[in-house]
Structure 1
Amino acid sequence: MAARVGVCYGMLGSNLPRPSEVVEMLKSHKIGKVRIFQAHHETLRALANTGIEVIVGVGNDELQKIAGNQAAANGWVNDNVRAFYPATNIKYISVGNEVLHYGNERFVSFLLPAMRNIQTAVRAANLQNNLKVSTTHASSVLGNSFPPSGGEFRNDLKNTLRPLLSFLAENGAPFLANVYPYFSYVGNKSQISLDYALFRSSAPVVQDGGRQYRSLFDAMVDSLIAACEREGHGGIAMVITESGWPSAGDDGAATVENARVYNNNLVRHVLSNEGTPRRPGKRIETYIFAMFNENRKDGPEIERHFGLFYPNKNPVYPVNFTP
């Protein structure tokens, strides 16, 4: 499964297939990894004995209780991990989602205490060598991202991130990040070409010292790696927990063709062993957002059109998940 790309299986749709059907889809399309945003028991049961690697999420609204009560953390791990592992191949627990992103400030003080309590519960279950505890970040944790070697975390987050990075390093856990070239492109079309965002550039677009970049994805990933290095944590692995491209919902870039090109090129790139210019030859574990178009998602129209599949299980466009 290590050589496979993952998908994010969101459930904010009124008409989605049953989890058992979704797991059959994952298997038939050779998708070897899946991220679920809550510990949905029916899904965790359906994933048993498939070998599919799983990221399971602790919801932001659960952080306060878990941060303040070790027994609550123990209960969460017992109910949502120990009850299913090892038949269900849980690889990471993501404690919160984009807690350091704008608008989520009310959760920030609970994040690291919750991670520590979940880690203590994992250790009590003697699972610390089998699965890792982390949290998922938006790219907005960066204050500077260009050039990639200049990647640096936002000044207002450094005091929060420094002990968090130390926690990851101490426990051998990866930095989990959501990376969307689509949003960077639509927010800065005057500076960024569509080909660069879609992995279609035939020649280097950015020259950063001795490193050359042909894709915005690599530049964004490397800016996060550089930011970790700047804080003295260059050894932390990077896992891309979301990346994708919407197929509809805006007035230009969100097309079926662009989404098809982006996601197929992303799969090809991730499975190529190229790595990124900052970590050449080191495959970046990546999860495509998302499995389905989800009609109950909040936000602008594009948010409901990131799916690889319609709720009826038909593909929005073809994606090849194998090299």
Structure 2
Amino acid sequence: PQSFIGINYGQVADNLPPPPSTPKLLQSTSIQKVRLYGSDPAIIEALANTGIGIVIGTANGDIPGLASDPNFAKSWINTNVLPFYPASNIILITVGNEVMTSNDQNLMNKLLPAMQNVQNALNDASLGGKIKVSTVHSMGLLKQSEPPSSGNFDPSYGDLMKGLLEFNSANGSPFAINPYPYFAYRSDTRPETLDFCLFQPNAGRMDGNTKIKYMNMFDAQ
């Protein structure tokens, strides 16, 4: 698979550049993908004709409606995708953020049906093979992540997690996760840990089981 650099485009901040100035800023870098936490039409429209891949997301609060009402899913696609695509290169829709670790059982149970209805709405619009559907998880899904060869999901998520992974596999959509280097560093504040988290030169960390040496946290997790 092709590697690339992307950014999260958060909007909870002061002095953000206006959306129309965003494309020029991004095109002055090697950034090829942008993730929006929502689906701000001004930003989506501003990125039109740039070729930059755009990830848009539904709010967690939309999940119950998306799960129970296929027409709501169609309306969401009609509002947030069809007016902009393909000029704006929307490549992925993330249904919710860190739902599985939210401790909201109702939301967790409705996540997969919501994703399926969004996928069906894309299929109905003849976009099923062009725009993928997934959700974004936290690292809290993992019961263990170190060493990498011992990584496994927390079994308490059981069948729900199995269903989500089967959806990803069936639709060729990515398994998306939010890695937080700061939390890794906070639990181990040695200078070499900071270098390991931030892609700086370091001695690397050996997985004793596989004898594979990992040079940064991103690869290791």
Do structure 1's residue 150 and structure 2's residue 142 form an aligned pair? no
Q: Give distance in 2, aligned partners of 1:6 and 1:201.
A: 21
- 1:17 corresponds to: 17
The answer to whether the 8 A contact 2:19-2:42 is kept is: yes
- 2:80 corresponds to: 80
> C-alpha root-mean-square deviation of aligned residues, in Å?
1.9
Q: Give distance in 2, aligned partners of 1:126 and 1:199.
A: 40
- 2:51 corresponds to: 51
- 2:95 corresponds to: 95
Structure number with the bigger relative contact order (C-alpha 8 A, sep ≥ 6) is 1
Q: Give distance in 1, aligned partners of 2:134 and 2:95.
A: 6
CA deviations over 1:282-303 (Å, ceiling 9, x no partner): xxxxxxxxxxxxxxxxxxxxxx
- 2:27 corresponds to: 27
Question: Which structure has greater helix proportion?
Answer: 2
- 1:122 corresponds to: 122
Structure 2 portions without partners, runs of 5+ = none
CA deviations over 1:266-290 (Å, ceiling 9, x no partner): xxxxxxxxxxxxxxxxxxxxxxxxx
Q: Give distance in 2, aligned partners of 1:3 and 1:139.
A: 21
Q: Give distance in 1, aligned partners of 2:196 and 2:21.
A: 36
CA deviations over 1:183-236 (Å, ceiling 9, x no partner): 11212337x73332233354332233231122222111xxxxxxxxxxxxxxxx
Percent identity over the alignment is: 39
CA deviations over 1:31-73 (Å, ceiling 9, x no partner): 2211111111111111111111000001111111111100000
Number of aligned residue pairs: give it.
Answer: 219
Moved more, 47-56 or 105-114: 105-114
TM-score normalised by the chain length of structure 1: 0.64
Give SS of 2:107's match: helix
Task: Tell me by how many angstroms 1:30 deviates.
Answer: 3.6
Matched AA of 1:216: M
Do structure 1's residue 215 and structure 2's residue 205 form an aligned pair? no
Q: Give distance in 1, aligned partners of 2:100 and 2:88.
A: 29
The answer to whether the 8 A contact 2:148-2:207 is kept is: no
Task: Tell me by how many angstroms 1:27 deviates.
Answer: 1.7
The answer to whether the 8 A contact 2:196-2:204 is kept is: no
TM-score normalised by the chain length of structure 2: 0.91
Q: Give distance in 2, aligned partners of 1:120 and 1:147.
A: 38
Give SS of 1:74's match: helix
